[in-house]
């Protein structure tokens, strides 16, 4: 007998936390798994935690056998090499994803949604990244390579097996309440402004490149629609005659394409005009010498727009200004308590 309807990996992450809370608030039975139990601020009421290291195939199978969920959202990922190695990142992002998909197949899980990234296209791909569902990895670092391999692995499972029904969501840069990765531009700018420290812009290509930004609530809505579509249409609708890798991926575009300076200006304008908080002007600093910086990175929204339309909905993610306005109160509350 199933003990939960939904299982979410990487529950300590802020996207997973927002997804879990949204589902729990609607009455879904949710289990979140991770290597360590998150704090009470991340693991809200109605969400049960189970320890699980996704690189351990035995642990993953045991958890799925115990929970027997209908839907798995696979959000666990290793996103930085700080304090880690290339081998560890590949082990988590590629090996861990394989373990989750295989355990879902063996346990008979109906749906598995895998969170990928626009970074899977690599550092040399030319935006907007096509929604033709291909992985044409154009060089890049270990993270980009690991997401490309994760993406292909998930789509291969969709091509080979009927269960689970797999969908891959290629996310843009996600921001919103709960994100405490201070190296990211939006939470970092909010915190530095509140501390009366100047935000930082990297000169050259890194500062000039356009990125797109998507509020976490819009990302959650898109991931949930992918699960609904998988349950409705299965894997057969995504298969092609040219090979085994199914067209099961969707670029989840943010819409707003902004350079770093514009993002910082937007954050500080909302803080000033909506909350009466004035911070110092940003400072420009040089990029790291000899380090390759990718150019602009953003998705085509054709497929996600069509998917929403297929289900009688409109894909209309909130503007960055509106999203930041909704996000700032969370940081005001948490930074006052010493986060």
Q: How far is CA 132 from the centre of its chain?
A: 20
Cβ(310)–Cβ(248) below 8 Å: no
Among 3.30.70.20, 1.10.510.10, 3.40.50.720, 3.10.20.30, name the CATH number for the domain at 6-174+213-252.
3.40.50.720
Domain with CATH 3.40.50.720 in the chain: 6-174+213-252
Q: Which CATH class is domain 180-210+256-295+319-335?
A: alpha beta
CA dihedral in degrees (234, 302, 300, 214; nearest 10)? -80
> What is the full per-residue pLDDT of the chain (339 aa) written as tens digits?
566 799 999 999 999 999 999 999 999 999 999 988 877 666 667 899 999 999 999 999 999 999 999 999 999 998 887 778 999 999 999 999 999 999 999 999 999 999 999 888 887 788 888 876 566 677 778 988 999 999 999 999 999 999 999 999 999 899 999 999 999 999 999 999 999 999 988 877 667 889 999 999 999 999 999 999 999 999 999 998 888 999 999 999 887 889 999 999 999 999 999 999 999 999 988 766 555 567 778 888 999 999 999 999 999 999 999 999 999 999 999 887 554
Is beta strand 111-117 parallel, antiparallel or unpaired with respect to 165-171? parallel
Question: pLDDT tens digits, residue range 79-116?
Answer: 887 778 999 999 999 999 999 999 999 999 999 999 99
Give which of 155, 118, 137, 143 is closest to 300, Cα–Cα: 118
Domain with CATH 3.90.25.10 in the chain: 180-210+256-295+319-335
């Amino acid at each position: 007998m199933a003990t939960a309807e939904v299982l979410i990996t990487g529950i300590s992450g802020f996207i997973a936390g927002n997804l879990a809370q949204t589902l729990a608030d609607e009455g879904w039975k949710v289990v979140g798994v991770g290597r360590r139990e998150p704090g009470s601020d991340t693991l809200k009421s109605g969400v049960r935690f189970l320890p699980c290291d996704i690189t351990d195939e035995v642990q993953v199978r045991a958890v799925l056998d115990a929970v027997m969920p209908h839907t798995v959202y696979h959000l666990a990922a290793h996103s930085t090499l700080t304090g880690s190695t290339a081998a560890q990142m590949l082990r988590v992002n590629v090996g861990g994803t394989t373990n989750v998909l295989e355990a879902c197949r063996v346990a008979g899980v109906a749906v598995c949604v895998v969170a990928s990234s626009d970074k899977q296209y690599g550092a040399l791909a030319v935006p907007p990244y096509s929604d033709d569902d291909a992985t044409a990895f154009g060089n890049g670092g270990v993270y980009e390579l690991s997401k490309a391999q994760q993406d292909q692995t998930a789509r291969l499972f969709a091509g080979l097996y009927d269960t689970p029904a797999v969908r891959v969501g290629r996310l843009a840069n996600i921001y919103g309440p709960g994100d405490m990765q201070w190296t990211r531009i939006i939470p970092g700018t909010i915190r530095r402004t509140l501390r009366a420290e100047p935000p930082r812009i990297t000169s050259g290509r890194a500062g000039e490149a356009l990125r797109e930004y998507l509020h976490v609530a819009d990302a959650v809505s898109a991931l949930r629609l992918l699960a609904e579509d998988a349950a409705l249409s299965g894997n057969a609708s995504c298969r092609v005659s040219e090979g085994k890798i199914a067209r099961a991926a969707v670029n989840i575009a943010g819409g707003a394409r902004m350079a770093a300076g514009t993002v910082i200006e937007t954050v500080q304008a909302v803080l000033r005009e909506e909350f009466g908080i004035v911070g110092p002007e940003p400072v420009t600093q040089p990029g790291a010498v000899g380090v390759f910086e990718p150019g602009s990175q953003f998705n085509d929204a054709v497929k996600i727009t069509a998917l929403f339309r297929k289900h009688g909905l409109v894909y209309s993610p909130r503007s960055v200004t509106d999203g930041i306005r909704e996000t700032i109160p969370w940081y005001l509350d948490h930074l006052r308590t010493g986060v």
